[in-house]
Amino acid sequence: MLIKQTMQTIELANGYLPPNVAAEIIEALVNERIQVHNIQMLRSWESNHGFDSAPYDQKMKAIKAQREKAKALIAEALERGIKVSLKARIEVHLAAQPFDHDVSFDLTFN
């Protein structure tokens, strides 16, 4: 299969939202990301009980710190009675360059 598109954007949220709705979206996204790291860490542990969990721990700590910053900002929005502008999107890029020419195959059986 030849792939011509090398990037796709997935729009998760874009607009002004009440703080409680923005908080739910942020919490759900962060929790899913933490769960993915937990699953990866568990898989590593299953294959090697003596593996170094520090990289996973650091990633999860950084993600949780970002969540706390977002919670503080949303608390301020609640306190001030204003909406939150939330833009969340994922950009997916292919790592290798795709073929940009047609390839034909001729299969002959004798």
Instruction: Give the pLDDT of the chain (110 residues) as one tens digit per residue.
Output: 555 677 889 898 899 999 999 999 999 999 999 999 999 999 999 999 998 999 999 999 999 999 999 999 999 999 999 999 999 898 888 876 555 555 444 444 43
Query: How far is Cα 67 from Cα 58, in angstroms, rounded to an integer?
Result: 14
Where do the structural domains in the chain lie, given as residue ranges?
13-93
Give pLDDT, residue 93. Answer: 84
Query: How far is Cα 72 from Cα 77, in angstroms, rounded to an integer?
Result: 9
Could you tell me the pTM of the whole model?
Answer: 0.72
